Amino acid sequence: MIKTRFAPSPTGVLHVGGARTALFCWLYSKQVDGRFVLRIEDTDLERSTAESVQAILDAMQWLGLDYDEGPYYQTQRFDRYLEVIKQLIEQGHAYYCECSRERLDDLREQQMAAKQKPRYDGCCRDLGLQPEADRPVVVRFKNPRQGVVNFNDHVKGDISVSNSELDDLIIARSDGSPTYNLSVVVDDMDMGITHVLRGDDHVNNTPRQINILKALAAPVPEYAHVPMILGDDGKRLSKRHGAVGVMEYAAAGYLPEALLNYLVRLGWSHGDQEIFTLQEMIDYFSLDGLNKSASSFNTDKLKWVNQQYLMNLPLERIVDLVRQRLDLLELAYDDDFEFATVVDLYRQRVFTINELVDSMLYCFQDFAAYDEKAAQKVLKPPALEPLQRLLDLLAELDTWNAESIHAIVARVTEELEVGMGKVGQPLRVAVTGGSFSPPIDQTVELLGKDRSIDRIRRAIEFISTNHAS
């Protein structure tokens, strides 16, 4: 059974780099009918917080990255780590070390002065020390002295590291707590992880982890270390570059399916295809298609992908998201409001759900100002007479529907002997604040009588005030 895992440290929100790793793990497990494990690596008690755990779980849920197992919490597995540390000591794969901080500092200085790589010299390795009550000791793993660690990384290719390069790393601190490399190894072993996909900031840990796995006679998983995501300046993506948290994109009106699509392409390709359904991602994904070089996060591209999804997803899905946003903004709407027409019109012209909602806000609340260009072009004295006439006729209209409104617009154009645009466009700017809307008769119907009349009146006042001679 193939098993992947996503193992975030809950020291902050889920950022796009983590989300991409999670997505790759998720896709691969789905493709091979394996299992996807979520493991919260919360052993750093000072930096891990319950809010971060929740933020990660929320983001995974928003993205739809469901897991087959977990979340496991490393803090709930301390006994197991201690048991394995004990086992390693008993089997001669680990030892107690009592080297003081001063000794280690001196050693490091000497090595640096001699232009050597700082590393533990194995001073306590063969002393057979036992812990004693008042003497602080750590536990170190006995890294093999001979030979080479070799693994074939799905992204980076063949990697060989000589054991002489690796020192005896600490697996338990002086307070007894296990270190990162130990807990990861124990978890990967116990959870039966067959494929480790993670950021390449961990590639240097891998030879050490493989050595510990071997000492435990555990199978060694396959590895794929994916390159970092960079910002547009070529530096590692960080807060400096703007939004990095997944939920910031949610709040900005991006769709989870679009963000996933963007992220999958950021580090993986399938020919030159850009837009993938989730099923296509699952079907086409392959570890060997992962990019070898780092990719840069490009907000314009993400916007474009989001726009593709806005335009092409089933209308009901977009309407649903629009409603959610209106609810969030606490804007009331009638249950029978004709969302489909309005949403379908504007979704072609925007990049995000938030922009989409902004462009139809006039349906739900009075606008504070007219679109400047539209007002300049249309709300001028020649519009006064058509607007006044429309106001009079619409005020008397009993049957408020698109047909009857259309008849009134037509009647005014005839009476005043002007083209449709000279009547319809002032009406449009008056009631929507801008120069783009669904057919004007439908729009006026949608807005209802009171709102429409009120807004026409305001436009007349606006023209009179701004163009008073």
| Binding footprint of ligand GLU on the chain (CB under 6 A) | 7-9, 41, 184, 198, 202
User: Per residue in 95-112, is it b (16+ CB within 10 Å) or e — as a string?
Assistant: bbbbeeeeeeeebeeeee
Residue 364: CB minimum distance to ligand GLU, A? 42
Structural tokens at position 408: 């009134």
Q: Residue 61 — φ and ψ, nearest 5°?
A: -65, -45
Beta carbons within 10 angstroms of residue 350's beta carbon = 20
Residue 198: CB minimum distance to ligand GLU, A? 4
Q: Residue 148 — φ and ψ, nearest 5°?
A: -135, 140
Residue 108: CB minimum distance to ligand GLU, A? 25
Angle of helix 402-416 versus helix 420-432 axis, rounded to 10? 130
Residue 339: CB minimum distance to ligand GLU, A? 41
Which amino acid is it at 407? A
Structural tokens at position 112: 């640096």
Q: Residue 365 — φ and ψ, nearest 5°?
A: -150, 155
Q: Which is nearer to ligand GLU, 186 or 409 (CB)?
A: 186
Residue 8: CB minimum distance to ligand GLU, A? 5
Residue 246: CB minimum distance to ligand GLU, A? 15
Q: Which is nearer to ligand GLU, 2 or 418 (CB)?
A: 2
Instruction: For residues 22 and 263, give the distance between their C-alpha atoms in angstroms, rounded to a whole number.
Output: 10
Q: Which is nearer to ligand GLU, 43 or 437 (CB)?
A: 43
Beta carbons within 10 angstroms of residue 270's beta carbon = 16
Q: Which is nearer to ligand GLU, 195 or 198 (CB)?
A: 198
Q: Which is nearer to ligand GLU, 222 or 274 (CB)?
A: 222
Residue 202: CB minimum distance to ligand GLU, A? 5
Q: Which is nearer to ligand GLU, 223 or 370 (CB)?
A: 223
Q: Which is nearer to ligand GLU, 219 or 381 (CB)?
A: 219
Instruction: For residues 415 and 427, give the distance between their C-alpha atoms in angstroms, rounded to a whole number.
Output: 16
User: Which run of H or E residues covers position 224?
Assistant: strand 222-226
